[in-house]
Chain A
Amino acid sequence: MSSATQEKGGGAVATAPSEPILSDKEIDASCRFPVLVFFLSAAIWFSVSAILGLLVSIKLHSSGFLADCSWLTYGRIRPVQLDAMVYGFAVPAAFGVMLWLFCRLGRARLAAPGVLLLAAKIWNIGVLIGSIGILAGDSTGVEWLEYPRYALPFLLIAYALIGIWAALTFHARRQQQLYPSQWYLLAALFWFAWIFSAAQLLLVCAPVRGVVQICVNAWYASNLLNVWLSAVGLGAIFYFIPKLTGRPLYSYYFALLAFWGIALFGGWGLLPVNAPLPSWIPALSAVMSIAMILPILAVVLNLRGTLAGYRGTTPNPILSLIVFGALSFVLAQSMNVLSAIRPVNLLLAFTYFNAAQTHWMLVGFFGSAIFGAIYYVVPLVLDAEPFAAKKIRLNALALFGGVILYGGALALGGIFQGLNLNNPDVAFPDVVKGTLPFLHISTLGSLLIVVAGLLLSFNLVSVACRALCACCNGSKKSEARA
């Protein structure tokens, strides 16, 4: 332990030798079951969402595929796919990362793992009930909040439990100095509770009148995908890149700038210029969205400074996942900034470009970063052997290929679609025909994403089974380690 690292903020253990210092192993062991269950749920819901995404992608170019059953119609599968990716994958994965990082960075044990385990199960039940409700036709009709009302109590109770005990874990920290990831994740914890409750209240429970619903919906969607998701994902990236490369995070101030920038400018919706709203609302939304250049720059400079000249001795697939996530963040947010520019907005308003941008954020940025985090953290909390590099590399390749094919094809397809849509000489069926090649490519991409999800789930399940079986059978474990 060098004293140099102690003087700089954020990492080293408390100096007083008389205080009981928790070892990493003890900390990881305290996190074991909640973190594992969160990550496992995330992986499984990711796979479910990916499979539904494959169906959606096929239906977009072959609309007759499985169209005759009401439970499998496009309009019901699409919301289940998106919501499963957010509430089934992103939120539990965020919890897993958050709890583990609060413990590790604060050098404290996880508070009440039993309660957190229960909360994880309740959350999963909520997502399951919500998804089935949508398929049965009970969708609320509000984008990103389609779960019917009867699913909400499960989600809210689970979140309350997790929130309280995560906050208690944070509060019980022994390392007082805060590392940037901690404030990113703590802010995200409270932030999701606020936006979710406010949006549910204003859109589902006591809906506001008329077009104000469009405003609230845009507010919620951008806060969810641009603020909350970024906060969690960047919190993870700002931890794992320094951790895996052994270098310090380049600048505390850039992290601060990115944080405040995202909080200030990220949540203003990306309203189309022609939305049925008084012109000041889309104008304000556009100005704030363009100002997101600032946090993007801060993130880019921070990571460039951290990684400058880094040459690992052996290629690290976990690091490649995290870095791909960081690059996807920059790409996705740049797509957002571009779409806010007026002529571009008019061109791309109702096209697949927006779907591509959401995909890059959810799967490219957050998915990739979290996959890396999961592959790093799970062997630690299970006290098991790390994953084989080959397995991680395969998973990473499937994910990268899927994201690039799906996201890239949809983005390009969206641009062509926009050009055709804005040209009144092109009849509408021809606009549709023009998008078909891109949709075919995107189906290939979604297939790869299904593979990636299944690989992750399979790897996690097998490692968990192995470790838990070994745990049950204590002697076998010590034999394996010998």
Chain B
Amino acid sequence: MNFGPLIFLGIFFTMSLSWLGLVLGPQLQLGRQNPEPNDKTGQLYPQARSGMAHQGAEVYRANGCFYCHSQQVGPESFGSDFKRGWGSRRTVAADYLFDSPVMAGSQRVGPDLANIGVRQPDENFLLAHIYNPQSTLPSGMKSNMPRYPYLFERRRISGKVSPAAIRFPATFTGEEGYEIIPKRDALALVAYLKSLQSETPLFELPSLTPSTNVVADTNAVAGTNAPNGTNAPAGTNAAPSTNTPAK
């Protein structure tokens, strides 16, 4: 009896199971997700990146930054992402809608970057860090991150220092007499990093501490739906009455 075709179908089905569960399922659920308006501000979240930031994403991709840096923050209860200041909320599907490719990373040789735009908005710091990571660390601390001098131009200072040059921390003396001008790729990369922000409160991430007194806790969730005017806590007045009915 020729079991061949049956076996083939059986193998095909068995192996397709993982495709159905891990590709088709998520695609059906999340594949058409669109930016949604924020309850408080009415603005859509997420927004598409600016041109420079978009180009910066290309630089990030071409140089393989995601092999050391992840871009996903876990919830407060798991791990120490919150305590390390890597984010104030976890990342969810909505945060990656405009990323292509999604470079969420799978290793943390370096810190997480999902919220770096909020954590470190200083452009100069970021440029200095990319040019020479050791320059931005206090002495005694060693950085494992490689340098990226090819994203910059190194010129001897003649006369005035160019306003576009990186201003290194005072502790760094490596480039005496030279000024480091970021090239377009470096500026784009920094624009991309500054665009990495995942702080906007979302429907799927309400505060985990349900208020026992709903009235007192009107500002429990940062920003969204703060009601107007019912702020007076009535807790003390809502105590069980000890009045006996006046007969």
Give the distance in Å from the alpha carbon of A60 to the alpha carbon of B145 in the complex.
8
C-alpha spacing A74/B68, complex, angstroms: 9
A75-B63, A210-B99 are contacts. A433–B146 as well, Cβ < 8 Å? no
* A-chain residues with CB within 8 Å of residue B7 when the two chains form the complex: 183
Q: A350-B106, A355-B107 are in contact. Are A202 and B23 (CB under 8 A)?
A: yes
Complex alpha-carbon distance, A360 and B25, angstroms: 31
Tell me if A451 is interfacial: C-beta within 8 Å of chain B.
Answer: no
- Is the pair B32, A209 in contact by a Cβ cutoff of 8 Å? yes
Pair A142/B83 contact, Cβ less than 8 Å: no
A429 at the interface (CB under 8 A from B): yes
Interface assignment of B66: CB less than 8 Å from any CB of chain A:
yes
Whole-angstrom CA separation of A79 from B93 in the bound complex = 26
The chain B residue with its CB closest to the CB of A429 is B141
B109 interface residue, CB < 8 Å from A?
A: yes
Q: Which of B18, B142, B150 contacts A433 (CB 8 A)?
A: B142
8 Å CB interface, A58-97 against B = 59-61, 63-64, 67-70, 73-76, 78-79
Say if the beta carbon of B1 comes within 8 Å of chain A. Answer: no
Which residues in B have their C-beta under 8 angstroms from that of A35?
none
Which chain A residues lie closer than 8 Å to B73 at the CB level?
Answer: 274
- How many A residues have CB within 8 A of the partner chain? 77
Evaluate contact between A211 and B102: CB separation under 8 angstroms. yes
The 8 A CB mask of B124-150 against A (1 = contact, 0 = none) is 000000000100010001111111111
- What DSSP secondary structure best describes chain A's contact surface? helix
Can you name the residue of chain B whose Cβ is closest to the Cβ of A221? Answer: B106
A213 and B108 form a contact (CB under 8 A): no
Q: Whole-angstrom distance between the alpha carbons of A138 and B101 in the complex? A: 13
Which of B14, B31, B92, B143 meets A276, CB within 8 Å? B92
The answer to whether A60 and B78 touch across the interface, beta carbons within 8 angstroms, is no
**B residues contacting the other copy or chain, number (CB 8 A):** 69
Distance of A222 Cα from B19 Cα, bound (Å): 11
B197 to chain A, nearest CB (A): 15
Q: Chain B's nearest CB lies how many Å from the CB of A245? A: 29
B45 at the interface (CB under 8 A from A): no
A210-B97, A276-B91, A284-B21 known; A75 and B102 CB under 8 Å? Answer: no
Complex CA distance for A432 and B134, rounded to whole angstroms: 14
- State whether A209 touches B26 (Cβ < 8 A): no
State A69–B11 Cα separation when bound (angstroms): 47
Chain B, 8-28, contact with A by CB distance < 8 Å: what is the 0/1 string?
A: 000100110111011101110
Contact A346 B79 (CB under 8 A): yes
5 pairs of A and B residues whose beta carbons are closest in the complex: A75-B64, A274-B74, A267-B18, A424-B83, A141-B61
B contact residues vs A (CB 8 Å cutoff)? 7, 11, 14-15, 17-19, 21-23, 25-27, 29-33, 61-68, 70, 72-75, 78-81, 83-84, 90-97, 99-109, 111, 133, 137, 141-150
